Structure 1
């Protein structure tokens, strides 16, 4: 049985810049298995953010093959991609991307409500996941009433709430001090030990070293 959650072969992505074409990804091939914790490491401008957008079905490759949890992404339309983003992938962002007017509980319940889960059930699940990330006493707090580390924990809870196949984290410690960043990375290791598949995008080698495997991206290509 194929245990790859992510299978990419010869992924190419270009952008038109005026009259010029900039090729950002130059034939990337990746396999990530269920239960892995993988860091995609590269400097600014290396193509790692474009790769993350394609992994997360936010963008689509120009050519190449991408199979996510057994589904051929190239064959999907925009509605199907939106459904996959909501169901298959839990996103964790550098700037948290929380809804400032709403409580931690509502922020975490939001992806479930988008899926059509009944409100009471979504709230119960949100509370449970917030307890799991150590914020059981903060469910009624709005983002601005929380520290950066607590906001990122809310963001992780929101990513976890729908039981996604992949947690996709974009520079998850980028807006945090070193101590708080290490606490978030400790949490990732713990989540991975429980069986969660994690793909983390970072420019920081020390952060990447916390993953089980590092994929180096330089100038749109994978280098050993």
Structure 2
């Protein structure tokens, strides 16, 4: 039986702005099982990025229920949230967020260094992951020596470090041309076939159509499932 990795019920997120209250998410409910490839689609300002931040334990909901990989997120302290985030979620960002002075293999190995793994073993795992994303011949290249699509592959390899339960991708093709973006989406499909659960945030319907399920967010609410 597949595990329910994301289980949100009636999630509300608001921010106080002086005497006013800005509600960004309003009664959002969402379930994602392991092995799914889900796209969260919505325009700028729809609330999809806030939803991503809550899923990734970067932000906390104001109210509602949220269980992530069996953990009750609403009752976690900041330190506990950081632990869950590092263990459960692999993040992929639009702008890659690579260390510019270091090689691809060092960028991928860096999270392993933070976990105390020695350089030899960290580099071995990083090398295997770079091969997995099609960059086995680019391990010693720095980000500026790589194309945008290749840089995004490095960031995907880094996200795979530690075998996270969920890959959370925020507009992963937004900084790429259509050809490179299409190649990245094909890579996501391959990773999903290998068993990786993927939640992808996008404003682009054509990108969202590559996923197996589309969740449409508008004005802080989930309006329909396509």
Bin of the TM-score, shorter chain as denominator length: over 0.9
CA contact (8 A) 1:86 1:111 kept: no
Please give the TM-score of this superposition, normalised by the length of structure 2.
0.97
- In 2, the alpha carbon distance for the partners of 1:51 and 1:144 equals 32
Single out whichever of 108-117 and 141-150 deviates more from structure 2. 108-117
Deviation by residue 1:126-185 (Cα, 9 ceiling, x = unmatched): 000001111111111111111000000000000012100000000000000000000000
Long gaps (5+) in structure 1 = none
Please give the alpha-carbon distance, in whole angstroms, between the structure 2 residues aligned to 1:189 and 1:2. Answer: 19
The correspondence of residues 150-165 of structure 1 with structure 2, limited to 5 A, is 150-165=150-165
Q: What is aligned with 2:196?
A: 196
2:128 maps to what in 1? 128
In the alignment, what sits opposite 1:215? 215
Name the CA distance, whole Å, in 2 between partners of 1:75 and 1:118: 34
Which deviations, in whole Å up to 9, do the C-alpha atoms of 1:8-40 show, x marking residues without a partner? 011100012233110000011000000000000
CA displacement 1:73-106 (0-9 Å, x = unmatched): 1121111111222111110000000011111111
- Give 1:78-93 correspondences, 5 Å limit: 78-93=78-93
User: Where does 1:143-182 land on structure 2 (aligned, <5 Å)?
Assistant: 143-182=143-182
- Contact 2:97–2:155, Cα closer than 8 Å, also in 1: yes
In structure 2, the gaps of 5 or more residues are none
State the shift of 1:2 in Å. Answer: 6.2
Name the residue aligned to 2:101. Answer: 101
Aligned-residue RMSD, C-alpha: 1.0
Runs of 4+ in 1 over 3 A off after TM superposition: none
Distance 1:131 1:137 in 2: 8
TM-score in terms of structure 1 length: 0.98
Deviation at 1:119, TM superposition (A): 2.2
**Displacement of 1:112:** 1.5
The corresponding residue for 1:20 is 20
Pair 1:64-2:64 in alignment: yes
Hey, what's the Cα distance between the residues in 1 that align with 2:119 and 2:51? Answer: 34
Aligned-partner Cα distance in 1 for 2:131–2:8: 35
